[in-house]
Chain A
């Protein structure tokens, strides 16, 4: 119950002891007897999906990708990897060879069998420079794919691939016969994807809606339970909430994140405790960070960066701006399910404006007429503007005069990532999909400093880079842990980045929706809908 924020487990404990509390997921499962079949499940989607092919979309729109595709692995009730298309797998000790045994008799929506060849094709496509897949960072060192028989596939990498299992094994498998030899970016299957998944795409109007129908030939017999699933894009938050409240939409998943419904409106709905709606809170797998350009003044001075960190009241941000949908995070590797083993709980940053002022004096930025120097906070319309206003107010007492510049997302990220036009700037970028420490630490590696690379802050610490790169190339988790603890400590002491909070999400469902599990560490959008049924 740290910072007065209820995490999901604490919430479950609390709820179990309180008669009037919302029915918890556990009790719901107990009450749920035999799943009923049929009906249409209607979900709110805020940002319209534009594509399905995982090799092209990468990690965009996982919620709709998972409707039509299956990965080799799947996620279990606690977010652990469980069999998907692969009924079993082995990983070599050196983490460079992965062998998957496929479930026989699985067919694509067009009736053709899904075999080792399809798996091979999918992974080779992701690694193929010609395809330019955003997923190729996960399989960059792919050396060979072997298919000794129809249902066995072995992926061999040049050295360890620590991201293979947590990062990409659950990504959808493409049908080779549909995509092979075609221009991926012009193939008609872009508009009508063919997968092995529990649902088939039936109707798709861009920017408006997607309608899926149950795949009656699905390999998990008896599933899915519902006949149809509708994703309805409603961009206006107020309308979306009204449509959900009055039952036109059955569920709104994964709220409590930027780009979703505004925090205040979600909080209002949760606190109103409507009797017909269930709220399931869970720990999202992403966090928010503040970045500064470490390569240019004034932020090339670590003392200045630390001063900024001391000036920020994270608890206030979580309480007032996030309305409680977050937990303060101090160490760069957060206390998230997939990262916990490398998380350093002893790293604590302190809100201390006095110390911040001292550091700035020491750094050689005296107050001149009350102000030390100006900075620019970059923002996008919506939540980031609010966050920036809070930051501006927090920087004023330490003599830093901040101006806020707001852009559309494309322009914002171009300025940060492509143009590196960020001298004297502070900005926030979410690190989504925290599947492994290797993934998040890449953002601090000197190897990714070049224009367009992931190290936006251009923080260049040779020791940290060495540790990060070595850890990525090490198979044994215990060894990696030591490296990450040290790299994390350096990043903290140098204030390479200021972690703000990790996100707490909430899935909101009408009571008639059964069998939807909210899983810590997976955004609710990754929750499979094949087990959901309607108690109409």
Chain B
């Protein structure tokens, strides 16, 4: 039962952490000059009385602690608040944007991790050969190229010149495709953003796997394994990788959490309707409840993903015990 106590403890800790994050976010945002009313109406010829009238309707005229109290109160009832800027409940907005982000992020992380780990192993086995160098160069190139630039290059090559793929968006608007046709439509729209993201994430996995594998390769248990006459594949992929995987898993866990934040630059370049753009717009618009809603989602996801990773360590390494 000690594992359960550990999990429950961690969850309680997490709730406190998320609450701290939103408290901080709430007050930091309110400290910044400017408000959503001025964002929307500041350029129009409106009277100060009108601006105050709108603020009153939006509850922005109340003292900060009251606004915060009200927000937390609603939150405890499961209500993420109402975005006056976007004229929608925050919950409804998140429900529409989260799936779009996951659709892009989950496959790119899985692909990046899978390809990255394979490349990392390959590089570590062919240390200081041309293969090692090529793998290193390719993965570092993806990491050191800004996603918006790479995205534009992809667009110019694959959309404008070769005309293989659509330039932007998640599906062909107004086409009203259904079923399989729709799936195919979305898939073709996904290819380029997915490519950019996979290439970008790849480096971390490849480099880390390589370093981690190299460290393991010097350890006596591998010598023993080989002396036992185990096939090389089993030595590498079963024994070495299992131990080398822990740091890789840590990185994966971190990415899994922040995955909900989306990838702002990639989403902007490909006009993908994901969480990154939602957050970016909400910050520009001073749309407080949306920003807080996003923070809650990301905060919770990061905390949970790390908890899952910590539990997975037990599976990978029986020496680790919690409780």
Decide whether A and B are members of one complex.
Answer: yes
Given contacts A191-B88, A410-B286, contact A236 B47 (CB under 8 A): no
Report the Cα distance A265→B82, complex, angstroms: 38
Interface with B: A68-76, A215-223, A241-249, A295-303, which one?
A: A241-249
Q: Is the CB of A207 within 8 A of B169?
A: no
Q: Is A235 an interface residue (CB 8 A)?
A: yes
Within 8 Å by CB of A432, from B43, B53, B278, lies B43
Q: Is B81 an interface residue (CB 8 A)?
A: no
Interface with B: A141-149, A414-422, A469-477, A519-527, which one?
A: A414-422
Q: Is B199 an interface residue (CB 8 A)?
A: no
Within 8 Å by CB of B42, from A186, A211, A413, A450, lies A413
Residues of chain B lying within 8 A (CB to CB) of residue A246: 159-160, 163, 167
A246 closest partner in B (C-beta):
B160
Report the Cα distance A245→B174, complex, angstroms: 19
Within 8 Å by CB of B273, from A205, A248, A413, A432, lies A205
Cβ contacts B240-274/A at 8 Å (1 or 0 each): 00000000000000000000000000001111010
A454 closest partner in B (C-beta):
B45
Q: Is B131 an interface residue (CB 8 A)?
A: no
B56 CB to nearest chain A CB (Å)? 8
Given contacts A42-B173, A230-B174, contact A411 B33 (CB under 8 A): yes
A35 CB to nearest chain B CB (Å)? 19
Given contacts A208-B271, A408-B284, contact A413 B50 (CB under 8 A): no
A472 CB to nearest chain B CB (Å)? 12
A202 closest partner in B (C-beta):
B174
Within 8 Å by CB of A410, from B36, B151, B268, lies B36
Within 8 Å by CB of A50, from B44, B53, B85, B152, lies B85
Report the Cα distance A443→B159, complex, angstroms: 47
Residues of chain B lying within 8 A (CB to CB) of residue A433: 45
B79 CB to nearest chain A CB (Å)? 13
Residues of chain A lying within 8 A (CB to CB) of residue B116: none
B82 closest partner in A (C-beta):
A186
Q: Is A463 an interface residue (CB 8 A)?
A: no
Within 8 Å by CB of A236, from B38, B269, B281, lies B269
Task: State the interface size on chain B (CB cutoff 8 A).
Answer: 61
Q: Is the CB of B34 within 8 A of A410?
A: yes
Report the Cα distance A50→B33, complex, angstroms: 22
Interface with B: A15-23, A129-137, A326-334, A495-503, which one?
A: A129-137
- Give residues of chain A (48-96) contacting chain B, Cβ–Cβ below 8 Å: 48, 50-51, 57-60
Q: Is B28 an interface residue (CB 8 A)?
A: no
Given contacts A51-B87, A236-B268, A246-B167, contact A409 B39 (CB under 8 A): yes
B272 closest partner in A (C-beta):
A208
Q: Is B96 an interface residue (CB 8 A)?
A: yes
Within 8 Å by CB of A413, from B43, B88, B277, lies B43
- Give residues of chain B (279-296) contacting chain A, Cβ–Cβ below 8 Å: 281, 283-286
A249 CB to nearest chain B CB (Å)? 9
Q: Is B144 an interface residue (CB 8 A)?
A: no
Given contacts A132-B54, A185-B57, A411-B33, contact A239 B270 (CB under 8 A): yes
- Residue among A42, A205, A430, A443 with the most chain B CB within 10 A? A205
Report the Cα distance A333→B191, complex, angstroms: 52
Q: Is B188 an interface residue (CB 8 A)?
A: no
Q: Is the CB of A58 within 8 A of B44?
A: yes
Q: Is A233 an interface residue (CB 8 A)?
A: yes
Within 8 Å by CB of B168, from A50, A57, A132, A243, lies A243
Within 8 Å by CB of B41, from A58, A233, A235, A412, lies A58
A406 CB to nearest chain B CB (Å)? 13
Cβ contacts B111-150/A at 8 Å (1 or 0 each): 0000000000000000000000000000000000000100
Q: Is the CB of A60 within 8 A of B44?
A: yes
Residues of chain B lying within 8 A (CB to CB) of residue A51: 87
Task: State the interface size on chain A (CB cutoff 8 A).
Answer: 67
Q: Is the CB of B46 within 8 A of A137?
A: yes
Q: Is B105 an interface residue (CB 8 A)?
A: no
B25 CB to nearest chain A CB (Å)? 16
Cβ contacts A369-413/B at 8 Å (1 or 0 each): 000000000000000000000000000000000000001111111
Q: Is A363 an interface residue (CB 8 A)?
A: no
Residues of chain B lying within 8 A (CB to CB) of residue A412: 34
Q: Is B23 an interface residue (CB 8 A)?
A: no
A138 closest partner in B (C-beta):
B45
A186 CB to nearest chain B CB (Å)? 8
Q: Is B181 an interface residue (CB 8 A)?
A: no
Within 8 Å by CB of A211, from B56, B85, B174, lies B174
Q: Is B98 an interface residue (CB 8 A)?
A: no
Q: Is A232 an interface residue (CB 8 A)?
A: yes
Q: Is the CB of B160 within 8 A of A417?
A: no
Residues of chain B lying within 8 A (CB to CB) of residue A452: 47-48, 51-52
B293 CB to nearest chain A CB (Å)? 13
B323 CB to nearest chain A CB (Å)? 45
Q: Is the CB of A238 within 8 A of B174?
A: no
Report the Cα distance A462→B273, complex, angstroms: 52
A453 closest partner in B (C-beta):
B48
Within 8 Å by CB of B45, from A209, A443, A450, lies A443
Q: Is B232 an interface residue (CB 8 A)?
A: no
Which residues of B pack against A, CB within 8 Å? 32-36, 38-54, 56-58, 82, 84-88, 93, 96, 148, 151-152, 155-156, 159-160, 163, 166-170, 173-175, 268-271, 273, 277-278, 281, 283-286
29 interchain pairs, CB-CB under 8 A? A40-B173, A57-B40, A58-B44, A129-B53, A132-B50, A132-B52, A132-B57, A190-B88, A206-B88, A209-B169, A232-B173, A232-B271, A236-B269, A239-B151, A239-B269, A240-B271, A242-B152, A242-B156, A243-B167, A243-B271, A246-B159, A248-B166, A408-B284, A410-B34, A410-B284, A411-B33, A413-B38, A414-B42, A443-B45
Given known contacts A205-B273, A413-B42, what 18 new A-B pairs fall within 8 Å (CB)?
Answer: A40-B174, A129-B49, A132-B52, A132-B53, A133-B50, A134-B54, A185-B58, A207-B278, A242-B152, A242-B155, A246-B163, A246-B167, A408-B284, A410-B35, A410-B285, A412-B34, A433-B45, A452-B48
Which residues of A pack against B, CB within 8 Å? 40, 42, 48, 50-51, 57-60, 129-130, 132-134, 136-137, 140, 185-186, 190-191, 203, 205-209, 211, 228, 230, 232-236, 238-240, 242-243, 245-246, 248, 407-415, 417-419, 429-430, 432-433, 439, 442-443, 450-454
The 8 A-B residue pairs with the shortest CB-CB distance in the complex, in nearest-first order: A132-B53, A452-B48, A413-B42, A410-B34, A208-B273, A414-B34, A410-B39, A411-B34
